[in-house]
Structures are given as C-alpha cells and as structure tokens.
Structure 1
Amino acid sequence: MKLLTICLFLITCPLIILAQHVHLLIGTYTQDGQREGIYVYQFDVKTGEAMAVSSAEAENPSFLALSADSKYLYAVNENGEGKGAVSAYAFDDSQGILTFLNRQLTRGDHPCHVVTDSDGNHVIVSNYSGGSVSVFPIGPAGSLGGMVQQIHHEGSGPDPQRQQAPHVHSAFFNHDETQLFVQDLGTDKVNIYDYRPENVADPLAAATPPFLTGTQGGGPRHLTLSADGRFIYLVQEMAATVMVYEQREDMWEAIQEVPINEAGFDGQDGAADIKLSPDGKFLYASNRGDANTLAIYQVESTSGKLTKIGNQQVLGRGPRNFALSPDGRFLLVANQNTDQVVVFSRGADTGLLTDTGHRIRVGSPVCLVFADL
C-alpha cells in the first residue's frame, strides 16, 4: 500500500507543480528597435514570481487577445501610414511557444485593441486613428481571413486637440456575446452593436439603443461589465473618471461618475485600464500622466455603485494596462515608461494591494494577458 501511495504521488506531482503556474503574455512597443515584440513568461500563482520562457517578433503588438481555448493569439500591430495590421499566432500552451500564422491589414491607422469571441468566429480590431472597427473571420487553423466588415464612426468632441475626429479605442463583448460595446474617445460615445456571427458579410449591426453617452470631453477608453451583465463600468481617459451604467428594461442609464484621482490632484491625466476582481467585489482603474496610480473601489452588490477605498502608487510610470491573476491573488501593472511590470499581492477581503518586490523587466510593456497551463 505504501509503495502504491508513493507511485501515485510521483505520477500526480508534476500535475500539482504544473497547476501552480500559468503563462503570462506581454505585448510591447517596438518602434525604437530595442525589443522583439511579444514575450511569454511562466507565472507562479503562489509566489508571484515570473520566469522568461520565449518571445516572438512582432511590430508594436500593443494589445493581445487569446482564443478561449488558448490555442491562438491575436495581436494588433499599432502602426500608422496604412500599415496598421492584426497578426495571428498559434500558441503551444504546454511549452509557451508562439508560431506566426498570418497577418491582415486593418485598413485603419494605429489599431490599439483586439478581441475575439469565445466560439472563434471573428477577430475584431479597434483602429484609433482610423476611427473604425474592422472584423476578420477566423479560419479552422486559427489564421485570419480577409476583412469582411468595417464600420467607420462619425462625429467629434469638445476638445479640438484630441477629439477632432472619432478615435475608436476598444471593443468588449457582453457576457453572452450578443452585443459588442465600442469605446470612442473622439466622440464621447460607447457605440453598441448586435453581434450576429452567422451573418457572414455583416456580423455587426447597430443595436437599440445604438450608443451610450459619456461625459462631454471625457474620452471613453475601456470598460468592463459585472458578472450578471447589469452594470457597465467605463473608464474615461481625459476626465479621469469611472462612469457606472445600469441596465433598466433593455436601456442603459448612467447612475454614477466617480473620480480616479485623489482629492486635490491637479496634474496631467491619462486614465487607461479598468478591471473587476474575479469575485466582482472590487474595481480597479489606472491613471497615467502625472498620477501613476491605481484607484481602488468597493462595489456595492445590489446597486452596483462604487465606493472609493484609496489610490495605490504603481511604483513606476505609465500604467497603460494591468491584469489580475486568474485566482485574483495578484495584480500586475504594465508600467510602459519605466520598462517593467510590477507585481502586487491583493487582499481578497480588503481589495488593497501590497508590493511583492517582484518585477518583470521588459521594455515598454503595454498589454498583459494570462493563459492557463
């Protein structure tokens, strides 16, 4: 019996060790020629330490999206002058190796966000300078087909320097993937589209209502939805605030706007990313510029409204993107301007963050994506 127990332990031990790690993929800016593009690390979900595994050449892969089964990775190539593109890679999640498949031009400059549906039908790209959304079909082996639909936004906002034209910044599905929410910094709108993947030519169609309105001059950038889909949390880059919307009888109503900054802050803003904790009890939002902080909010379970807990310095500059580990124990911040990812531990009961002392040294990190091993 003792021998059998030992044998079973030896067989299952590698699985136990393996479950302690997940892969972390990091997208970077490469225009200075000092980095390859996409980096893969093995992240220890118990200690918060990371170990480099591999890298793949890519031009300005500033945002990444994994397929639901983690077999494929899609990365924007945030270029201008007609060279904006989206690239597809096969991802060997057991080894952490990326293999380039193909690339498609997005026909819009500076694509800055990419998303794919869980059934692997389409990849959808947000073109910042182009003010448009580009839709690509996914082939059976993960490669991208030619663009099947492009929607150009129209309009402007009150800021003549930053809102002279539409600037599509991101697109996120609702939880059942029947709708797509597209943030337009240039027009202060969240455009809403019905998603119909079976429609080959036009999978996106204007929804009812067709858009949500943000703060005038606020600059919608990213959003996240509550687990039950009742609430939307929108980060506004220029206003450095979070807007809360509640769904009431198939309509969305703005119910709250809360600041990201601490009281008395009068520096330059650049609010960037927003995420809910896995249990939905806490919300985090980053601000770049002169702030370089993460705002921490507690989420009221019934009303969906936010109560500010505090601000955490990110211990670097330019927190463009951040990610929570799959179990929510750690929060990682990509500090673009100080060339490192800072690893914080997170209190599940308090939502507060503590520096672990762990750093991932990588040039211009701008996107973090976890994949389960």
Structure 2
Amino acid sequence: MKKIIAFLILIFSCFNLYSQNTYVFLGSFNRDKNTDGIYVYQLNTDNGKLTKVTTVKNILNPSFLNISPNGKYVFACTESKTKNAGSVSSFEFNPENKTLNFINSQKSGGENPVYLTVHKNGKWLINGNYTEGSISVYPLSDNGTIDPMVQNFQFEEGSINKDRQDRSHIHSAVFSPNFDYLFFPDLGADKIRTYKFDSEKTEPLEAAEIPFTKTTLGSGPRHFTFHPNEKFSYCIEELTGTVDAYKYEDGKLESIQRINTHSDKQKDKFESSDIHISPDGKFLYASNRGSENNIAIFEIHENGTLKNIGYQSTLGKHPRIFAIDESGKFLIATNSVSGDVVVFKINFETGLLKKVGKKVKIFGVSSVQIKKYNQ
C-alpha cells in the first residue's frame, strides 16, 4: 500500500511539475529605466495562477514583446512612446535558472516601435514603427544578438481622419502561414501593406504583386491574424471598432465580411486593439478599449465569416494586448491604464471566458506573450 501511495505522489509531483512549464512574458510602459520593465511569470495550467519568476530593469517602455521559435530569446520594442527615439532589444531566457538577461539593442529605424515578429527559422526580426510609419528588418545571430538593420521602408500618406491619420502609422507585422509574405496593417493610411519575403536573401523584403489591400476609409487597421486552416485572415480596425474577414491565397486578400467588435450600445470613440484565434480555429477574440474594456467573442463559420456570441469584461481599463496559450485553455489580458493582468479560462465548447486566479498588478502593463517549455 505504501508503495502505491509513494507511486501516486510521484505521479502527482511529475504532473504538477509538467503543469508549471508555461511562462508568461509581460512588457510595460515603465517610464523609468530604474523600475522594472519586463516581467516573467509562471502560469499554473491547473488553476490559472500566475507566480512571479523574474524582472528586468534598465530598459524603457517595452511596448511589445515576441519570442524566438525555440523559446531561448525574447525580443522587445523599447523606447516606445519616447520622442525622437526607438529601439529593439534582445534578451536570453533560461527556464531552468529562471533568468532573463539583456543581450543587445539596435535603433528601431523610426520613432515609436510597436510590433515585432520573428521568422520561423529564427534568423530574421521585423519591426513596425508607428509614429514615423516605417518597417525595419534585422538579421538575428544564433546567440540571439540583433544584427544591424538591413532594410527600412518609410511611408508617408495618411487618410481622412485628420486627428489620427495625418500620415502612415504601421501598427503590426504578421507573416503569412508559409512565411513567404509579410502583412503590415497601416492605421494611418487605411491599407494592409504586403511584401514578399525570401529568407535566403540578404535583403529579404521585396514588393509584392499586390502591394496593399485598401480598407474602409477612416477604419484604422491595427492588428492582423491568420486562421489555423490558412484559408482566412482577419484584421481588427481601431478607429471604427470593426473586424474585416478575408479569404487568403498566395499573398492576396479578398474581403468576405466586415463586422462590429463593439456592442450596439457603443456609438463612437472606438478603440479596438488586438485580435487572436483559438488554436482549434473555432473562435475569434477581439479586444475593445475606450468605454467598453472587453473582449468580443466570435464563432468562426466554415466559410470564414464571423458571428458574435458574447462579450467578456477584462475587469480593468484599456485592454491593449492579450494572448492565448498554445493549448487554447487560457486567455491572458493586459489592462494598461488600470495596470493589471487578468487570466481567463476558455470554454472549449462555447468559446466563452471565465476569470481564474488573481489579478496581477503591473504599472502600465503593455504586452503579453505565453510560451510553453519542455523541461
């Protein structure tokens, strides 16, 4: 009997250890290099509890984070919202020692970097600069070092909203499913810009056959995502609080639906922000800031169109960025104005969200990424 109990304890311990190998990386608008800028937490995948692991100082306003495919390196947009400044920075994460150490930085090639993406081979980093409306391309060394920029594209034209669209504002950079194209929603120009990408070239970005897809004037395209089946893509539009659904094929986008992210009660001042799809491809989630501060939940039909099935308050103010873990079990939202991080459990059948664990307070929390490690 004692052997059986000991065996069960061992199994439970192993299972508990296995459930603790998911890490959550959080950036913040810290405003001061002497305060913590990046935070790392462990996510308990049994109950959704977050436990602090480590933090990083001596960086300013890491507004967006991304992680290398092998999980060894964390990349950050730094010096965001800092006039006449901007940089991209690299850090090495060691899950065994639970450390995150600075490697190096490069100039962002434009003021206010807001989005980073990494090629699947881990050899390229792409950055989008919001204020100056530009794209920067960097080679990555095997040790996580960001090498000097090899390409920079600047855009000028704006659109009809003179307060927000005085010029180009690149707000994200997203690879196609095959990593042969890059898409750049331009909030200022009401375009989704498209480039071909050849990872074997020293200058990998080149003009696509169709260089951009026009969105509705005044819509302000912000973030972009692909369906797991690779047939559809979706763009959230900040200024009109809408999602554009597209049929996707070989670098080309064909609009098939445009649907509100906000409820009927919200009539103006839309501030939609982020968009993600559950790993099983059944549900799409979109965040609304402003007066609503919620996640809009959509069911995805077989033809790629969306049906709104509910809303979930993020229990804070200004949900700028959220992320879904690779199992599809948890959604983590960051409320940048109220400064808190909230974990929700996803119902696999209904797609609805339920808060779990306790809120984590982080001043100016700006971004979140989730990564599971094999330990």
Q: Tell me the TM-score normalised to structure 1 length.
A: 0.94
Cα separation, 1, equivalents of 2:370 and 2:356:
19
Residue number in structure 2 paired with 1:238: 239
Provide the residue aligned with 2:312 in structure 1. Answer: 312
1:204 counterpart letter in structure 2:
L
Structure 1 counterpart SS, 2:141: coil
Q: Deviations over 1:186-213 (max 9, x none)?
A: 001111111111111x210111221111
In 2: Cα distance, 1:357 partner to 1:90 partner? 28
Asked whether 1:17 is paired with 2:19, we answer: no
Q: What amino acid does structure 2 have at the position aligned with 1:341?
A: V
* Alpha-carbon contact 1:35-1:363 (below 8 Å) kept: no
**Alignment of structure 1 residues 186-335 onto 2, 5 Å:** 186-200=188-202, 202-247=203-248, 251-301=252-302, 303-335=303-335
SS in 1 for 2:337: helix
Q: Look up the equivalent residue of 2:144 and give its one-letter code.
A: G
Cα offset for 1:34? 8.0
* Separation in structure 2 between the aligned mates of residue 203 and residue 248 of structure 1, nearest angstrom: 20
For residues 134 and 249 of structure 1, the distance between their equivalents in structure 2, rounded to whole angstroms, comes to: 23
Query: Within 2, Cα distance between the matches of 1:95 and 1:349?
Result: 37
TM-score computed with the length of structure 2 as normaliser: 0.94
Partner of residue 75, structure 2: 74
Q: Report SS of the residue matched to 1:118.
A: coil
C-alpha separation between the residues in 2 aligned to 1:167 and 1:135? 17
- Report deviation, 1:33: 6.5
State, as a whole percentage, how many aligned pairs show the same letter. Answer: 35
Q: 1:291 is aligned with what amino acid?
A: E
Matched residues in 2 for 1:327 and 1:249: separation? 28
Q: CA deviation digits over 1:328-360, x for unaligned, max 9?
A: 222111011111111222111001112225211
User: Structure 2: which 5+ residue stretches go unaligned?
Assistant: none
Cα–Cα, structure 1 residues 73 and 249, in superposed 2: closer, same or farther, change >3 Å? closer
Secondary structure of the structure 2 residue equivalent to 1:80: coil
Residue 13 (structure 1) shift: 5.7
Residue deviations 1:212-269, cap 9 Å, x none? 1111100010011011211111000001100001136863211100001111312422
What is the letter of the counterpart of residue 311 of structure 1? Y
Superposed CA offset, 1:119-146 (max 9, x none): 1111111000121001111112110111
**2:134 corresponds to 1:132:** yes
**Ranges of 4+ aligned residues in structure 1 off by more than 3 Å:** 1-10, 12-15, 32-35, 79-82, 248-251
CA distance in structure 1 between the aligned counterparts of 2:336 and 2:251, rounded to whole angstroms: 39
CA positional deviation for 1:365: 1.1
Structure 1, unmatched stretches of 5+, are none
- 1:269–1:291 contact (8 Å) kept in structure 2: no
Supply the RMSD in Å over aligned alpha carbons.
Answer: 2.0
CA distance in 1 between counterparts of 2:195 and 2:307 reads 30
Distance in structure 2 (CA, Å) of the matches to 1:172 and 1:9: 45
Asked if 2 retains the 8 angstrom alpha-carbon contact of 1:84 and 1:108, the reply is yes
1:173 match: 175
